[in-house]
Structures are given as C-alpha cells and as structure tokens.
Amino acid sequence: MADVDGGGLSLLSLGDELTCSICLSTFDCPVTTPCGHNFCQQCLLSTWKETYSCPQCRTHYSIKPELKKNTVLGAVVDTFKLRSTTDVSVAERAKSEAGRGGAAATRCDTCMKAEAVKTCLTCMASYCAEHLRPHRDSPVFRVHQLTEPVDDLLERICPDHQKLTELFCTQHDRLICTLCLQQVHKTCNFIQPEKQREKQKSNFSEKLDLVNMKIKQNETVISQITDMQLSLKSSAATKKSKMARVYEQIRNMLAAEECAAMTAVDEELESSQTKITVLMKMFSENIKSLNKAKVDIHSLLCQSQTMAFLQASLNLPKAAAFDPYAPRINFNSKKVTANEEFAVNLKKQMRYILNQPLGARPPLTKTEKKTQTGHPINNPSPAAKAVNVKADKMSESQITHTKRSPLQEDGNKPMKSRSHSMENLLGSDGKPRHRPQLTQMSSEPKEKIEMMDRPANLAAENRHNLLAYGAALSFDPKTAHKRIVLTEHFTRASVSDQPNPAEHLDCPQRFSVCTQVLTSQGFTRGCHYWEVRLNQNNFVGIGLAYGSIDRKGPTSRLGRNAKSWCVEWFNVKLSAWHDSSEIEVPNLQPKRVGVLLDCDSGSATFYKVADRAYPFYSFVFPFTEAVYPAFWLFSSESSITLCQPQA
C-alpha cells in the first residue's frame, strides 16, 4: 500500500475504474463475479431476482454464483476516498483565501507561514514583517531594492541572468532583465510591461469587437436565410396552387371535349334512328300497297266470267318498280370517325410529350388564333389546344397524313360509302363537324429517335380500354430452354430441375444458356396488349426481344444486350434492364402484369393490373425489326401464365 499512498496523483486518475457500473458511485464493499467484473455487493444482489447474469457482459448463470469480497480493491477504494477528501479540503481552503483577498496571498519564503509584506529584488525572495527586520535594521541590506509582494516571482526571473524581468522587448515579444538589455537586446526597443499590457489589452479588445461584429453579421445572415426559406415555401405553395388550377382547367376542358364527343355519337345515333324510322315507315307503306295489289290480283284471278276477266286491268303500285335493299348503317361516318381518331391521336400525342424529360419536351408557344375578321376565337376546341406546336410548322401534306388509330390497325377501317347509301335514300345533306388532325409524334425518321428509359409517371388507366388492344399469345416451344416446361396449351411456363431431351430437340432458335422463352407471335406495327400472371415475384423477367437476339452466348439474357428490354424481379429488387444498363424501380409486387406495346410510337409500358392498370415503367425505343414478348425464369418455384385478353 506504500506505492498507492505515494502515487496520489495516479490514484486520483483511477476514479472511473473505481466506480460501480450499476450505481455509478465509488465501490461500497466490492465483490467479484465469476466472469471477473466488480460491483457493489448490495447493487449486484438487487439486480438478481429470478435470473442470474452479469449486468456488464450479460453472462448467464444457471444457479446463483458464490460472491467473494475483493479485499485488494476495497483497500484501494478506501485510499482513494481519503485522497479525495484531502484534496477537497485543500481546494476549499485555497478558495476561501482567494475569496478573502481576491487572490492567493504571497507567503514568506523564510517561514512559509506568515504573509509576505515585501519582496526583495536583490535577494529574489519575499519576507514577512518578522524576517524583513534585517533589511530594515542592518546597513548591509540598505542597498537591496524592496517592492510590494510579488506572487509570481519565480516566473518573472530571467532564466539567463537570474534577475527580475522589468522590461518588455517589442522586437522579440518577451520579458527581459536589465542585463539582457545591456547584452543581447541592447539594440532592441523596449517598453514597460505595464504599457505593453495596456497595448495588448487594447488589441484584444479590438479583436473582441471584431468577433462580436462578425457574430452579429452571421446572425443577420441566418435571419435573412430563414426569411428566404419562408418566402420559398410561400412561393412554392403559390406556384403549386396556380399549377393545380391550370391542370384542373385542363381536366375540365378534356371532360368538356369528352362530353362533346359523346354528344356527337348520341346525335349520330339519334339521326340514324330517325332515318331508320323513316325507312321503316316507307317500306311498311310499300308492303301495304303491295298487299292491296296482291288482293286485287287474287280477286281478278277468281273472276269466273271470261269477258269480264279479259276486260279487267290492274296497275301495279310504284313500290313494285322499286328494288328494296337494306342500307348500310354504322358509326363510321365522318363525324364519328373524326371524333374517334382525334381522341386516339390526342392520347398518343400527350403520351409522347409526357414520356420525354421536361427539358427535352417540345416548346408550347403562346399563339392566339384569329378568325378571318381578325378577332380572337373565344372558345377554341379544348382538345385542339393540346395539339403539338410542331403541327403548326409542318406542311399541309404532313398534317393530313396522320397516324391511323389502333382500331384501324386491327383492320376495322371505315368502309367506303355505297351508291345506295342511307343519305341518298333520304336526300340528307348534313355535314359533320371537322376537327384539326393530330400530327405524328415525331416528324423525324425512327432511326434518329433517341432511346429513353424511365419509370412511368402516368395515371392509372382503365383496364377495359387496354383490353381493346388485347393479343392472344402462346409460347414458342422451339425457343424454350431445355429446362423450361410448357403446359396448358403452351400458355404456362415453369422451370424443371431435370430437363427432358425428348421434348426439346436441338434447334437454332432455342436458348441454350439462359432459361428463357419467346412467344410465337411477333409485332411490327400497331398497338398490342397482353397480361401475364405470376405465381411469385422472384427470379422472373418479363420483356421484349428482337427475333435476332443471341440464343447461345451468355449475353443472350434479357436486358443484357441491345436487342432486348425487360423488367426483372431478383430477390426483393425490381429493375429495368436494357443493354446491360440497370435502373432500379420501386417493387409493387404485382400478381398480374400487363404490357402495352405501341409499335408506331416505339414504346412499351408495363402495368400492375388490379382494379385498374397502374403503370410502373416505360421503355421508349425505335423498332428496326419484329419484336417478340420474351420471358426469363430462374427458380423452379416460379411460373408465368399468359392470360387471355378478356375483361
């Protein structure tokens, strides 16, 4: 314990090590656990209720362990407490002395007890009144220089000459004594330490003023930034409100245009029904007059007198000279067709514009169309306002040659009017209201269109509208990898651990490396839509591929080459792949996925199909050859089923 007592300073630094981790106080009757950690005996026992474990390392004991008192640690703690008490007493005494005199009093260097009254600069010592008596009584000490007590006398002694430093060298910024001034610093400028103190105090005061000024400036800037932040929030709210009103007006305009289109269809139906009613009445009157003529003929045929029969005559009604026919009645009139084509082309035009990044969208100029009299049009067609500004710059021939609607691509083209049309029968000269034609989505050749892949930012669509472009698909067994099993009339694909060579003969169209399969149907033009049902969202890929995609190499995997595009579920991640470039997409975990392929605009959109169709990613790319629906399966637990296009 002697070493402990002699190293008081080192012992005081062990305060943290001598603290119980439970009560955070100095150990009181310390005990040691079997794992080697120390705690107060009472603190440790209070933590042991039903289970027994070390509070520090969480070592669990099946039975309550036997605790042993750490006597060595207890002795160290007692010594530490004693040292702490002594240091506190010394600190309190020094504090009380400082409180009485404002600073610790200078002690006599001879007795080290009494307070010094003078300091001898010759002896370099401080003396109390008793020990200062020789300096006052003896003539030997009369030449000694006495001054007021100096508390930091040892610090003010020159280390080179052991004399009191009384001057300050301004060139070397240090205190010097008179001998230093005569030797090393004899060419230096010097001043009194008190004057240097005042000068330095003034310098520090100036720096303090500068610091305070900078603090105020920073606080002012922070206040300005705060006001700017509030202004930005207010401006953002105002702009959002304005944009919301604009989009609300656009929606109202589209709703009004839809209502007008529906009204046009209803008017066409009513007009057709009126014409049909007139025709029905006319043909009914013809039948009535012909029946009357029939009765008259039967009456003449029943005439028994020959003379009367020979003199009888009968004029047939005009209806007998008319060749009846059923006129063509459909909704492919110019008025209805114009409405339908305008709606389809407007949708394509808006999709083309909105699918591009904001900076790459074509500018929408603020032009004001005028009538022939020079006055602005008060109520232009709401849908006409959505026409791309490029239409105004195209030639008349380019405007008239618009894209055909998907319905026309399917073969439902409007029939040419027959010579015996319903209008010719009734002499109608009604003229349908014509609307401006929408131009193609791009006047440039498809080879120059830059490919753009992006997450879809479109609103949910009515699934019934997409099913209008439904395509019935089936898997092509010649392209299926040997481990892929096709069932349910080639509409369901799954992966088998044991390939069946008998069902999969070698052929150049078959994928040999990646477990993939294409459909038998490929597309080069028009809009086409199909749906796929997934049994799980893991290790499955759905996409598109050219027929010339590599079938043998490792780059044949969908999305890892320039000839294929796909969305792929891999573990919990959903990614879009093309040409080995990956874009991560939020995983919606759909059970049914829809794909809308628009060959004319060069786009493919993937939907999560539920109550509605929710788009989650779109590819935009130019077609150079036929494109086929393509699928990738990896896990034996995954399977996909091609759904039939039905509501």
Q: What is the pLDDT of residue 13?
A: 57
Q: What is the pLDDT of residue 125?
A: 84
CA–CA separation, 479 vs 517, rounded Å? 5
State the Rg of the chain over Cα. Answer: 52
Helix (H, G, I), strand (E, B) or coil at 406: helix
- Give the rounded distance of the alpha carbon of 205 from its chain centre: 53
Quick one: which H or E segment has residue 241? helix 193-301
Question: Residue 118: is its pLDDT beyond 70?
Answer: yes
Whole-number percent of the chain with pLDDT over 90: 29
CB-based contact 61:48 (threshold 8 Å) = no
pLDDT digits (tens, 9 = 90+) for 335-348: 778 888 888 988 88
> What's the number of CA atoms in the CB half-sphere (13 Å) around residue 277?
6
Angle at the Cα of 253 (from 250 to 255), degrees rounded to 5? 110
Burial of residue 462 (number of CB atoms within 10 Å: 0-12, 13-18, 19+): exposed
Q: What is the pLDDT of residue 137?
A: 84
Tokens 């003229």 belong to which residue?
431
Residue 322: CB partners within 8 Å, gap ≥ 6? 286
E strand or H helix that includes residue 289: helix 193-301
pLDDT of residue 597: 94
**Banded pLDDT at 318 (limits 50, 70, 90):** confident
Chain position carrying tokens 């610093």: 185
Spatial distance between the Cα atoms of 258 and 546, rounded to a whole number of angstroms: 38
> What pTM value is reported for the model?
0.35
Q: What is the pLDDT of residues 385-396, one digit of tens each?
A: 333 333 333 333
- Alpha carbons 608 and 614: distance in angstroms, whole number: 5
Give pLDDT, residue 87.
57
At 607 the three-state DSSP class reads strand
State the pairing for strand pair 484-487/452-454: unpaired
CA distances from 430 to 262, 280, 331, 379, 543 (A): 18, 21, 15, 23, 49
In order, the DSSP letters of 573-596 are EEEEEETTEEEEE-----SEEEEE
Is the confidence at residue 147, as pLDDT, over 60? Answer: yes
d(CA 243, CA 246): 5
For the ranges 14-23, 113-122, 217-226, 425-434, the maximum mean pLDDT occurs at 217-226
pLDDT in tens, 395-406: 333 333 333 334
**pLDDT for the residue numbered 304:** 81
Q: How far apart are CA 114 and CA 105, in angstroms?
A: 10
Does position 595 have pLDDT exceeding 50, yes or no?
Answer: yes
- Distance, in Å, from the CA atom of 262 to the CA atom of 258, rounded to the nearest integer, reads 6
Residue 244: count of CB within 10 angstroms of its CB: 10
> Residue 97: pLDDT band by 50, 70, 90 thresholds?
low
- Chain segment 456-467, per-residue pLDDT in tens: 555 678 888 899
Q: Tell how many helices (H) and how many strands (E) occur in the chain.
A: 14, 25
